[in-house]
Amino acid sequence: MYIALLGRQPEISIAELERRFTSVRWFSSETAIIDTDRIVNVQQLGGTQKTGRVIMTLPLRDWRTTSMKIVQHYQKAWSDFEGKVTLGISTYGFTTNARDVQKTGLTLKSKLKASGVSVRLIPNQDVSLSSATSHHNKLGLSENKIELLVVKGRDSIILAESTGSQNITALAARDQGRPRRDAFVGMLPPKLALLMVNLAGLSTHDKAQSRPRILDPFCGTGVLLQESLLAGYDAYGTDLAEKMISYSEDNLKWLKSNNQLKGSWTLHEGDAMTTTWNGPIDAVVAETYLGQPFSAPPSPAKLKEVRGNCNHIISTFLKNLHGQLKPGTPVILAVPAWRHIDGTFTHLPLTEAIDALGYRQITLSHVRNEQLLYYRPDQVVARQLLILEA
Ligand SMILES: C[S@@+](CC[C@H](N)C(=O)[O-])C[C@H]1O[C@@H](n2cnc3c(N)ncnc32)[C@H](O)[C@@H]1O
């Protein structure tokens, strides 16, 4: 059993887990439990910050009482530990402060010292270590580099040992290191692209048989193709703009020069509203045309125009695509939704008429489809994630 510490928008993160693992449930508002015998690799997830193997479940108590139990447990468990332990402690959901969390670490350190075990304690700036600090210190990646994750849920407390944290440096390099970028077509963050690839729910079992192929008909500079290739799939990208095809080509060549890729890619120009794609297509994953970017909410007339234009392009594309897919093929799209000052959203009309376009919207157990919105606090154009099946 694993615990996953979810990202900034936990609803999207749990959707990703639900599509990748059979048994997933909420534990607290920012964490989820994954019941699996498989090893969960946090680097293969876009929306999870840390994962940990569950060691024990404790009754709901405050931090002081819980921390005493933890000290007791590890004082015994590690009494004959060989070599030096690097230790970090992160708490989630407790009413406590960095000093008290640090104090737990210091108490454990001195008790272990008495048994001849030496501990290097990672200082707590906060009640939990940032993913960057955990990753930088390689916590969870070897037997003697340990991060305890102590999570207060609705009904109990979980003590887990980290199995790794998201590698923010690698994600940033995958984003900023690419030779071709284009501010106007927008920058899909690699972790969102990876999350979308996982939303397709292609099983790893399929990967062993023959490599599934993912189509992105709005490929732009190729972030989705990049993440599909890194996840072990074949990638197929098309775009209306010749420039974008050449940008994607350059970016994927750069990716191949820096990584061992099993899959291969195909690229060509094409209008998503009329193109005929070459099979096989096992999933479609795309950030569609999002309309123009806005730094402030547009006037009602402007919004009507942009929304109408996007709706036309995306629904014509979906109709064109439908006849070209095998029934049951997953179609994962990021489409625009516009955020107003009061926090409400204007959605594309097509999101209310998915059935009429021939697709089925997949409903998830742990999150409502309307909650699958990705945006930063200052963004007007949000990305609404649609999980469909042809
Ligand atoms: C939001 S961008 C996608 C960005 C891409 N995910 C990336 O990371 O670079 C949308 C892309 O759709 C393309 N596009 C717009 N209308 C199109 C159409 N009718 N058919 C195909 N591509 C289109 C644009 O050229 C642009 O590259």
CA of 248 from ligand 1 middle (Å) equals 11
Q: How far is the CA of 183 from the centre of ligand 1 (A)?
A: 12
Instruction: Using the mean position of ligand 1's atoms as its centre, give its distance from the Cα of residue 290 in Å.
Output: 8
∠ CA 213-171-50, nearest 5°, is: 100
Q: In this predicted structure, what is the pLDDT of residue 248? A: 97
pLDDT digits (tens, 9 = 90+) for 253-283: 999 999 999 999 999 999 999 999 998 999 9
Minimum CA distance residue for ligand 1 atom 26: 220
The reported pLDDT for the residue numbered 279 is 87
225 lines ligand 1 (CB under 6 A): no
Q: Ligand 1 test: best mutation among 228, 244, 246, 319, most atoms within 8 Å of CB?
A: 244
Place of tokens 């680097």: 43
Cα(209) to ligand 1 centroid in Å equals 31
Distance from the alpha carbon of residue 262 to the mean position of ligand 1, in angstroms: 26
338 lines ligand 1 (CB under 6 A): no
List the residue whose alpha carbon is closest to atom 12 of ligand 1: 218
Q: Report pLDDT for 186.
A: 67
Ligand 1 binding pocket mutation candidate from 176, 289, 313 (most atoms within 8 A of CB): 289
Is the CB of 275 within 6 Å of ligand 1? no
Specify the pLDDT at position 157: 98
Q: Which domains does the chain have, with CATH numbers?
A: 2-166 (3.30.2130.30), 169-389 (3.40.50.150)
Task: Tell me what pLDDT residue 273 has.
Answer: 98
**Token digits of residue 162:** 């980290």
- CA of residue 45 to ligand 1 center, whole Å: 24
Q: Is the CB of 292 under 6 A from ligand 1?
A: no
192-211: pLDDT as tens digits: 999 999 999 997 554 456 89
pLDDT values of the chain reduced to their tens digit, one per residue, 390 residues: 999 999 999 999 999 999 999 999 999 999 999 999 888 999 999 999 999 999 999 999 999 999 999 999 999 999 988 889 999 999 999 999 999 999 999 999 999 999 999 999 999 999 999 999 999 999 999 999 999 999 999 999 999 999 999 999 999 999 888 999 887 776 899 999 999 999 999 975 544 568 999 999 999 999 999 999 999 999 999 999 999 999 999 999 999 999 999 999 999 999 999 999 998 999 999 999 999 989 899 999 999 999 999 999 999 999 999 999 999 999 999 999 999 999 999 999 999 999 999 999 999 999 999 899 999 988 999 999 999 999
Please give the distance, rounded to the nearest whole angstrom, from the Cα atom of residue 225 to the centre of ligand 1.
13
Q: Which of 187, 238, 240, 271 to mutate to test the pocket of ligand 1 (most atoms within 8 A of CB)?
A: 240
